[in-house]
Structure 1
Amino acid sequence: MLPQYPKDRIVYGRLFNMFGVRFLGNGLVTEREYNHWRKQRKIMDPAFSRTYLIGLMGIFNDQAEELMKELEKEADGETKVDVMYLLRRVTLDIIAKVVTR
């Protein structure tokens, strides 16, 4: 986002509240005011730096291995597997381990 290229008020207003329900909310994606966006972006940048993310690869890989073990248990060709449940669980496990790191 740059001050000379502001986000369209109508488009991003609709993304904030789509079909009368909070959709993307008031965050970096929908923020239209440059100074507030820049301040929030500076806060978030360190969490997505390359070196920080490389340091988390061990956690990501361990959780991917656990997911594969869980899928192997269920992979008999007949059992239905709720993949969304497994992906949510893996995501929450990763978040919990990264936060307590």
Structure 2
Amino acid sequence: MSVCFYDNSEIINEPKIRIDRVYCLDFSNFSEETWDKLAVIYSKLPMQIINNNVQAWFGEEGKSEYYLYASVEPSGLQIVGVLSSDDWFTWEAIFNEEIKDLPSFEC
């Protein structure tokens, strides 16, 4: 089953894509094991950056032309960044496949 998501701003397929997407993960139903699984998923994604417990890929906002980061929010897992279209579609395909069994809700 795929995880429902919504975009806070329209993603337009151009060479440079601005992303602001929320995946409707149900954190209230996450166990310690589920949080550990999410950490493993993060590590499988292309170009992961380990930086002060912020989950990020490709670069850092304000320091890099391309960046992507995740933020746990009450509404779900927010993914924000700017990537090339190829990098985004590759990252997104892996991410969607990996999270499909995590607790989620309908958006």
**TM-score (normalised: structure 2):** 0.28
Which is bigger in relative contact order (C-alpha 8 A, separation at least 6)?
A: 2
When you count strand as a share of all residues, which structure comes out higher? 2
When you count helix as a share of all residues, which structure comes out higher? 1
Q: Higher Cα Rg: structure 1 or 2?
A: 1
**TM-score (normalised: structure 1):** 0.29
